[in-house]
Amino acid sequence: MASIKKIKEIYNQELDYLNNALKNSNNQYHTFSLSTIKNSYPEARTVVLRNIKQNPSKLYFNSDIRSPKIQELELNNNCTALFYNNSRKIQLRFKCKAIIHNQNSLCANVWKQTHLQSRKCYMAPYSPSIVLKKWEPNLPIKYLKSDPSQIDSELGYKNFSHIELQVLETEILQLHHDGHIRFKKKDSQFIFISS
Ligand SMILES: Cc1cc2nc3c(=O)[nH]c(=O)nc-3n(C[C@H](O)[C@H](O)[C@H](O)COP(=O)(O)O)c2cc1C
């Protein structure tokens, strides 16, 4: 039987898994599905979890400032982050409001810690998601097979953004043969919901 004590334990355990996922790409929470709203139609895509903070609860990912998801979030910053761990059969759903950090101190700090290999993506000549007449790698030709030099990599900074997702509500679903455990956390309140 699930008690409030039990669901608080599940919540804290999942926070530990999320923290582990930041550096562990084998952890299934390393990536999540981010949903935004595009002309009143939902859009979803996979992104990499880059940071997590508590009190207040926040999730972070990186993206090219030129990408459609950023334009969508600028028009409407309501979004959802969805995680699923297939081995442990547990889903996390976060209702969020996004804040886009670009060319500010937070963005600069994250950029400093971004590896050259990742910086290369932000040096793409074309904006992400634009139509191409023919296939192109959309990477700097000079660095197709190697990392950019530190100096050249700085060209990517203008396109780099760090997105903060302020969590408004968390919902957790843990699958069980004898009755799923599903609950929400809003502010500091935990409530059971039916599955
Ligand atoms: C495993 C995986 C991880 C990804 N991580 C990111 C990411 O952290 N940031 C990002 O902007 N796009 C990431 N992408 C690409 C997006 O899923 C998406 O295809 C692209 O950003 C275009 O999205 P948009 O047109 O909705 O902006 C990732 C894709 C995969 C398959």
CATH at 14:
2.30.110.10
Residue 159: give the domain boundaries.
4-192
Instruction: Determine the atom of ligand 1 nearest the C-alpha atom of 69.
Output: 27
Q: How far apart (Å, rounded) are the C-alpha atoms in residues 183 and 170?
A: 8
pLDDT of residue 187: 92
Residue in this structure with the two tokens 């919540």, named with its chain if needed? 11
Burial pattern 165-180, b for ≥16 Cβ within 10 A else e, equals bbbeebbbbbeeeeee
Residue 130 CB–ligand 1 contact under 6 Å: no
In this model, does residue 1 exceed pLDDT 90?
no
Ligand 1 mean position to 195 CA, how many Å?
30
Question: Can you tell me whether residue 24 is helix, strand or coil?
Answer: coil
Report the chain's terminal Cα–Cα distance, integer Å: 14
CA dist 166 and 53 (Å) reads 10
Decide whether any atom of ligand 1 lies within 6 Å of the 37 Cβ.
no
Against a cut of 0.95, is the pTM above it? yes
* Mean of per-residue pLDDT scores for the chain: 97
CB 162 near ligand 1, within 6 Å: no
- Domain tally for the chain? 1
